[in-house]
Chain A
Amino acid sequence: EDQVTQSPEALRLQEGESSSLNCSYTVSGLRGLFWYRQDPGKGPEFLFTLYSAGEEKEKERLKATLTKKESFLHITAPKPEDSATYLCAVQLLGGGATNKLIFGTGTLLAVQP
């Protein structure tokens, strides 16, 4: 069964304390891996798409990387405004064209000043 697992479930950091969030996946075939940020009561905000192992993308203090089994979201020198739930999702190959995403349960990040 296709599965996405995120760890840790929750993470508390001090402002400026860098860390990484993990997304591991077990899927029949990966078309793409997506990272989203979600603030309370709002819809997920698109951050990155990664398509192949070794690929990396950066945006401000965030950097996403992809291997054949997992992805990491590295947060460098986080600020309180980076506090949110970070969601990882995969899009599968095969079964016809689709935009369907399979989501992990997310990592709740809290950055304290």
Chain B
Amino acid sequence: KAGVTQTPRYLIKTRGQQVTLSCSPISGHRSVSWYQQTPGQGLQFLFEYFSETQRNKGNFPGRFSGRQFSNSRSEMNVSTLELGDSALYLCASSLGHGGTEAFFGQGTRLTVV
């Protein structure tokens, strides 16, 4: 059974640019959540999608956005990149909406220069 797939694995962008990250959840899973992991802040919740609708959002600026498609695949976008956006971005896949285990992908390592 395939796990959570995130692409790309590594990305280098310049300050001010925008970036789109992709996540394919485990087959049959309908919920996707995104997290940012940095050495200083640890894992911080960005947002959660279920059935193509954003269900929950963390305390991040509006430059961070996401969406989910009808096949449950999800993308997140960061516009006007800042140096502080450098992080490991993790996608988590869950079977249902609420109270179910989350399985993580390998992450996308974003470096902003």
Contacts and interface: CB of A to CB of B under 8 A. Distances in A.
Interface stretch (B13-21, B68-76, B101-109): B101-109
- If over half of B's interface residues share one DSSP class (helix, strand or loop), that class is named, otherwise mixed; here it is strand
Nearest to B41: A105
Interface residues of B, number: 28
Nearest to B33: A99
Contacts, number: 69
A46 B94 contact: no
23 contacts: A31-B98, A32-B99, A43-B6, A46-B104, A87-B43, A89-B43, A97-B55, A98-B56, A99-B33, A99-B92, A99-B94, A99-B98, A99-B100, A99-B102, A100-B33, A100-B48, A100-B58, A101-B45, A102-B45, A103-B35, A103-B42, A105-B42, A106-B42
Interface of A: 31-32, 34, 36, 41-46, 49, 87, 89, 91, 96-106
Interface of B: 4, 6, 31, 33, 35, 42-45, 48, 55-56, 58, 90, 92, 94, 97-107, 109
